[in-house]
Amino acid sequence: MTTRPVVYVTRRIPETGLAPVREACQVRLWEEELPPPKSVLLQEVADCDGLLCLLTDPIDEEVMAAGTRLRVISQMAVGVDNIDLRAATARGIPVGHTPGVLTEATADFTFALLMAAARRIPEGVDYVRAGKWRTWEPMGLLGVDVWGATLGIVGLGRIGTAVARRARGFAMHILYYDPTRRPDLEAELGVEYAELDDLLARSDFVSLHCPLTPETHHLIGEAALRRMKPTAILINAARGPVVDPDALVRALSEGWIRAAALDVTEPEPIPPDHPLVSLPNCIVVPHIASATVSTRERMAAMAAENLLAGLRGERLPYCANPEVYARPL
């Protein structure tokens, strides 16, 4: 009888992912609400063949060194900035992720944030709850138009493109900045390429959809925020550290820009007494852009698919470090 591979799952995920993994593997599951501490992670990976992790787990060189048997790392997220991909590749470990299945949910939510900030929905909710609604006010809670405004998309990948498709329905003029120029999408969606500085200066809304990399870390800092219009709104549903939080606090307090809406923050979670949480022109929500029932179910199923393929020695269907397959044996 062959022994089943040992797998560590760092949090309870939807059954669409857990069930197939349980069927094929010996599963050790971290059942707590908060992520496993690093010391637990290091201990658990020591005798594991596979790891199914989340973006809250720092999977660095130390974890990989401890996981001497690790044959595959499968993350239930598309972004893999918490994983040292270079270290994984050097060790011959393929890393799975979940592109595509969360694109539409994340784009929907990006638009929800954009609309909420433009039309001041959370402030309106607070207003009613505080008993301040006494009459229809001709000058009360005035926002800005979304329809016909200029949207600047930073990173025209899967999610950026899905946001652009939605923006067309609002007759927005769409600018994009991306290291790769996309003439196909320019023709199909009528989006206009702009250098980042130009995009920042011309956009009424700037929406971030690039991955977090050394190049994009604090991409939106003081210089970028000062380039934006004083009436502009920043939306971040990418990764927190793409925006410098200290610069953003100053931008929002001193009126360099009008407002911001953040699904992601630096640090994450953001402390409740952080100025970004209390500023009336800043919306902060707890990294929920992909949080729909069906999207999370599909993400979990995809993470299981990657994990099981890796354990069988097959190529991962959705691999974040495909160069691992090109490395010399």
Select from 120, 224, 226, 104 the least CA-distant residue to 161: 104
Select from 24, 58, 150, 12 the least CA-distant residue to 73: 58
Catalytic-role residue among 239, 258, 296, 298: 239
Task: Considering only the stretches 198-206, 223-231, 287-295, 306-314, report the one whose residues sit in contact with ligand NAP under the rule CB under 6 A.
Answer: 287-295
Task: Considering only the stretches 41-49, 149-157, 224-232, 309-317, report the one whose residues sit in contact with ligand NAP under the rule CB under 6 A.
Answer: 149-157
State the nearest-atom distance from the C-beta of 80 to ligand NAP, in Å. 8
**Catalytic residue status for 123:** no
Burial of 281 (0-12, 13-18, 19+ CB in 10 A): middle
Q: Which residues of 7-42 are buried (b: 16+ CB within 10 A; e: fewer)?
A: bbbbbebbebbbebbbebbebebbeeeebbeeeebe
Residue nearest to ligand NAP (CB): 157
Task: Considering only the stretches 3-11, 233-241, 252-260, 295-303, report the one whose residues sit in contact with ligand NAP under the rule CB under 6 A.
Answer: 233-241
Total Cβ atoms within 10 A of residue 186 = 15
Stretch 248-267 residues interacting with ligand NAP (CB under 6 A): 263-264
**305: CB partners within 8 A, 6+ apart:** 20, 96, 317, 318
- Is residue 156 within the footprint of ligand NAP (CB under 6 A)? yes
- In three-state secondary structure terms, 251 is helix
Total Cβ atoms within 10 A of residue 170 = 16
- The beta strands (E) that lie in 15-140 are given as 26-29, 50-53, 72-75, 95-96
- Is residue 79 within the footprint of ligand NAP (CB under 6 A)? yes
- Is residue 106 within the footprint of ligand NAP (CB under 6 A)? yes
**Catalytic residue status for 268:** yes
Task: Considering only the stretches 12-20, 38-46, 148-156, 297-305, report the one whose residues sit in contact with ligand NAP under the rule CB under 6 A.
Answer: 148-156
Select from 178, 257, 193, 180 the least CA-distant residue to 221: 257
Nearer Cβ to ligand NAP (203/216): 216
With CB under 6 A as the contact rule, the residue among 210, 225, 248, 262 that binds ligand NAP is 210
**Catalytic residue status for 239:** yes
Q: In this structure, what token pair is assigned to residue 269? A: 């979670």
Nearer Cβ to ligand NAP (25/159): 159
Stretch 178-197 residues interacting with ligand NAP (CB under 6 A): 178-180
Tell me the helix, strand and coil percentages in the chain, rounded to 5: 40, 15, 45
x/- site string to ligand NAP, residues 4 to 43, per CB under 6 A?
A: ----------------------------------------
Nearer Cβ to ligand NAP (26/82): 82
Q: Which residues are catalytic?
A: 239, 268, 287
